[in-house]
Amino acid sequence: MGLFDKIRSQFIDVIEWTDDSSDTLVWKFPRTDDEIKNGAQLIVRESQAAVFMNEGELGDVFDPGRHVLETSNLPILTTLASWKYAFDAPFKCDVFYVTTRQFTDLKWGTQNPIMMRDPEFGPVRLRAFGSYCIQVTDPGTFIKQIAGTNSLYQTDEITGQFRNMLVSRFADALGEAKVPMLDLAANYNELGDALRANLQADFDPYGVTLTKFLIENISLPPQVEEALDKRSEMGLVGNLNAYTQFQTANAIEDMANNPGGGGNMMGVIAGVGMGNTMGGAMQGAAQAPQQPGAMPPPLPQQAQWYAAVGGQQTGPFDPAALQQQIQQGRIATDTLVWKQGMASWTAAAQVPELAGLFGSMPPPLPTP
């Protein structure tokens, strides 16, 4: 290499970056010890921004286009470097290219279940996952807050932090939404849009816009899902008695069409009959009104009767004992009786409740 080639190599005439990756957020132009020539060409392609930094301090930011690097269009850098007016010499600074296109299909998900209280099922544990999209909308802020002086910064270096922010906010939003568990699937879009708007305040300090937040699935533990499946099956069966009768009829028809398998079919019919009995019991239990903690009412008290026999008060007698006294002749139609609620002693035959007990008994013998 000749002397003039060596001198020429120390000055950079064109600064550009052709991005052939899909996950690069920031790329530092490899300057090493070379100086940027005053009047050099800066090429910034679509979905890119160029950020100049001088000794760690943020300088000028260039949008897409072809720019000529002169002190007139480097006002911030000129101030930082204390250049005099009309400075016309090569200069040194760091140039970072920032990708400003959207990064899509970034994944988020809950590592641990989210506890929430459902109005129908009580406390439940939910897991959720989905995707989101981001876009760097303030390249200078992003360089200062995130990338720093890294020569290469890719999405996997920041998505972990963003994912933690999303999951934390999602758990809080899900609890505050108070949407019943069985209605969550119908509200994925509404929850996602509301959460994206609330989350943007957390992304602003990084110079990043959360352009999309999608909820793909909210799931229950396997045991709870199995219980819900059984509950759905019960709902599909409907009338258990009718269902088991239908099964019995099919079994009898199969037995008639298969005489040689009668033994097996009898077992099937017996099993269906047992299922019918259990189904009836279950249906009756389901139809009976149940109230948590309710106790059956006390049994009604039997009436207690008193009788005047031989001038003496006898009793008390319950209805069965009173009937026995009548059958034995100790109490006749004209015997005075009384129970609580009656105004006075009354002949037994005149009491409507007792009159029927004397229907099969002969009247007393007349006195001589």
364, 333 Cβ separation under 8 angstroms: yes
**Could you tell me which residues come within 8 angstroms of residue 192 by beta carbon, excluding any fewer than 6 positions away?**
130, 213, 214, 215
Is residue 41 pLDDT above 70, yes or no?
yes
pLDDT digits (tens, 9 = 90+) for 211-265: 999 999 988 877 777 777 776 666 665 565 666 666 677 777 777 677 665 555 5
d(CA 42, CA 39): 9
Residue 4: per-residue pLDDT: 40
Residues 158 and 205 sit within 8 Å (Cβ to Cβ): no
Token reading at 311: 């001038």
Domain 102-220 classification at class level = alpha beta
Nearest CA among 108, 130, 120, 129 for reference residue 224: 120
**Per-residue pLDDT reduced to its tens digit, 296-331:** 777 667 788 888 888 888 888 888 888 888 888 888
For the chain, which residues make up each domain, given as ranges? 3-98, 102-220, 305-358
For residue range 159-190, list pLDDT tens digits in order.
Answer: 888 998 899 888 888 878 788 888 888 888 88
Task: Give alpha helix (H) positions in the chain.
Answer: 3-9, 75-80, 139-142, 159-177, 188-203, 222-237, 240-257, 262-287, 319-327, 352-355
pTM of the model: 0.57
Q: What is the mean pLDDT of residues 36-61?
A: 90
Q: Measured between alpha carbons, how far is 294 from 292 in angstroms, rounded to an integer?
A: 6
Peptide bond into 316 cis (omega under 30): yes
Mean pLDDT, the chain, as a whole number?
79
